[in-house]
Amino acid sequence: MRWLAVSWILLCSAAARAEHWPVHGYTTADGLANDRVDRGARDGLGYLWFATLDGVSRFDGHRFESFGVHDGLPSSVTHDVLTARDGTIWVATDGGLAWLDPRARGTRLRFHAVATAAAIALAEDGDGRLWVGTVRGLVEIVGGAAIARPVGVALGRATILAIAPDPVDRSLWLGTWHGLVHRRGDGSAALYPFAGDGVFDDRVFALCLDRERRLWLGHVDRRVLAIPLGERFPVAPGGALWPADGPGWLHHVPNGWGRRAILEDSHGAIWIGTTGELSRYDGGFHGLAAAGVSDRAATPLVEDVDGNLWIGSDARGLQRIASRGLVAYDHGDGLDDTAVRGFAEAHGQLHVLTEGAPRPLHRLDGKRFAGVTPRLPDDVAMQAWTQGQTIAIDRDDRWWYPTAEGIAHYPRVARIEDLATTLPDFFRIRDGRPQLPERRRPARHQHQHRAQPRAQHLRQAARPHQVRGRGQGAQGRHPALMGRRSAAAVRRVAERR
């Protein structure tokens, strides 16, 4: 018997809490420009663009192509990349801004520089206006030229670290060294310190406005906050955001310092990068440091056309988390043991038979496994059966359950948990031949001819029995004979007697 961890097909990104995903890594050995990757974007052709410490890399699904200073970038140190509605690729670098038209013809694509201060963050609003956060403040690109726009409040340090446009009121939410700034459509603004304790470093590193119009903020000091936006912002200008609270607010303290990315995927899950772990919110916060993803400054970057999530890092390149594939489950997901005997599926639910006690039978409820110990006759002590056996559910939705002394056949139950209190019929196995259920065996004096009834019972037990379930390797056989003699062999034994 091979010792296995249970694996199943992941149909969407929301799955069990302790899941271990199929993850594939890419580094400079695969053509990536640099192993530090801060931001990512997907263009209209499905290509992925990544901002690294040594230029920009484009991935076409098979290989990377990298661009640097010799391709028109004003600096090789890049901080952000964005695909505009018109298809133009924009890159924020230490030397200013640059753009590229991926549809241009020629042997080699080339970037074109736009003079700005060192650019940090990029965003396009609902009207198609391009905004740039620089070390000197806010810039708007108009007709290909950079126009400085006042932030609207006095900032001791002018750097704009993150930008989240709000399409409802055409305003901008800005992450700064001094907290959160709300710049309204008319140019007026309000400052909201995050910590509110007068610290110099009150950086809001990351911003994301999700589909439910919650504003997500990632703070430098291990804090993540989500605030529902309504007609009025729930905090007065100048009021601290943390530890303030209100209806629908979400507070999270991740295991690591904040990174510059919060991403909402196509399923509505929120991904949060920190220096210690990757976190996800899908109705609850889950730290995913042990899920097969690098725990060194994991930064959610972009979702590709196949729904795969791409994660950046400080020094380990990229990781692609597959949206479909085999996913491993273990004790952290509710399994009492990871040595798996078999599978069965009924009414869209997966059931697993494991090796160990106390609960060998498990059902996957969508996020976790729930275990149960089926009831057996008092004189049956051993749960486990022989190698290669499995569970099965027949056409009447009745369970067949293997043990070391025979097989249990349960009446139909509403829930798998009911097996713990339901007494089954029980088939003994002696010399490879099933006998009548213990509770239904007739007395010997009722048989006028002993040999004939015995052979008849064996024939009945050996008739093909249609069962459902995956992995049993014995479709169409009576469960009591799985892994033993074939039905024909049993008939021949009966006839000889």
* pLDDT values of the chain reduced to their tens digit, one per residue, 497 residues: 333 344 433 333 333 344 566 788 999 999 999 999 999 999 999 999 999 999 999 999 999 999 999 999 999 999 999 999 999 999 999 999 999 998 888 778 999 999 999 999 999 999 999 999 999 999 999 999 999 999 999 999 999 999 999 999 999 999 999 999 999 999 999 999 998 777 778 999 999 999 999 999 999 988 999 999 988 999 999 999 998 999 999 999 988 888 888 999 999 999 998 888 888 899 998 876 545 565 567 889 999 999 999 999 988 899 998 876 556 677 777 787 777 777 888 877 888 888 766 788 888 876 688 888 888 888 886 665 545 567 888 888 898 888 877 888 899 998 888 988 999 988 876 645 455 455 444 444 444 444 444 444 434 444 444 434 333 443 444 443 344 344 444 444 444 44
3-class SS of residue 420? helix
CATH assignment of 10-329, among 1.10.3720.10, 2.130.10.10, 3.90.550.10, 3.40.50.300 = 2.130.10.10
User: For residue 325, what pLDDT is reported?
Assistant: 59
E-strand ranges in 231-380 read: 250-252, 258-264, 270-274, 278-281, 285-287, 299-303, 309-312, 318-321, 326-329, 340-346, 349-354, 361-364, 369-372
Contact 250, 288 (CB under 8 A): no
Structure confidence at residue 18 (pLDDT): 45
Q: Which residues contact 369 (CB under 8 A, 6 or more apart)?
A: 6, 329, 333, 334, 335, 352, 362, 363
Cβ atoms 447, 457 nearer than 8 A: no
Which of these, 304, 270, 271, 261, lies nearest to 39 by C-alpha position? 261
Strand 171-176 to 160-166 pairing: antiparallel
Burial (0-12, 13-18, 19+ Cβ within 10 Å), 63 = exposed
Return the structure tokens found at 329.
């489950």
**H or E element that contains 6:** strand 6-9
Answer for the pair 419, 361: CB distance below 8 angstroms, yes or no.
Answer: yes
Give the CA distances from residue 230 to residues 184, 226, 227, in Å, rounded to whole numbers and listed in that order.
Answer: 14, 13, 10
Instruction: Please provide the DSSP assignment of 442-461 as one string.
Output: PPGGG-SSSHHHHHHHHHHH
Distance, CA of 142 to CA of 126 (rounded, Å): 15
Nearest to 5 by CA among 319, 386, 352: 352
Buried b (16+ CB within 10 A) or exposed e, 136-159: ebbbebeeeebeebebbbebeebb
SS3 content of the chain, % helix, strand, coil (to 5): 10, 40, 55
Please report the pLDDT score of residue 371 as a whole number: 86
Furthest C-alpha separation in the chain: 105
> What strands lie across the sheet with 204-209, from one edge to the other?
204-209, 214-219, 223-228, 250-252
Using CA atoms, how far apart are residues 381 and 366, in angstroms rounded to an integer?
Answer: 32
SS3 495: helix
Nearest to 277, CA basis, from 256, 250, 248 = 256
The model's pTM is 0.68
**Cβ atoms 129, 149 nearer than 8 A:** no
Residues sharing a CB contact under 8 Å with residue 443, sequence separation 6 or more, in sequence order: none
Q: In which residue ranges of the chain is CATH 2.130.10.10 found?
A: 10-329
Which 8-state DSSP code applies to residue 61?
Answer: S
Q: What is the pLDDT of residue 422?
A: 92
Give the Cα separation of 191 and 172 in Å (integer): 12
250-252 and 189-192 beta bridge pairing: unpaired
